[in-house]
Amino acid sequence: MMEIFFETKDVFQLKDIEKIAPKEKGITSMSVKEILQSLVDDGMVDTDRIGTSNYFWAFPSKALHARKRKLEELQSQLAESSQKKEALQRSIEKSKIGREDTAERATLTEELAALRQKKEQLKAEIDKYRECDPDVVEEMRKSILFKVNFFMENVCTFF
Domain ranges in the chain?
2-58
pLDDT of residue 4: 86
Separation between Cα atoms, residue 110 and residue 103, nearest integer Å: 11
52-71 in b/e burial notation, b at 16+ Cβ within 10 A?
eeeebebeeeeeeeeeeeee
Phi, psi (deg, nearest 5) at residue 54:
-105, 130
Query: Quick check: 59 and 43 in contact, CB under 8 A?
Result: no
- Tell if the pTM clears 0.75, that is, is over it: no
pLDDT of residue 156: 65
Distances (CA, A) of 5 to 19, 38, 49, 159: 14, 15, 18, 100
Give 10-residue mean pLDDT values along the chain (159 residues): 84 87 84 88 86 86 84 96 95 82 84 93 83 78 83 67
Span 2-58 CATH architecture: Orthogonal Bundle (1.10)
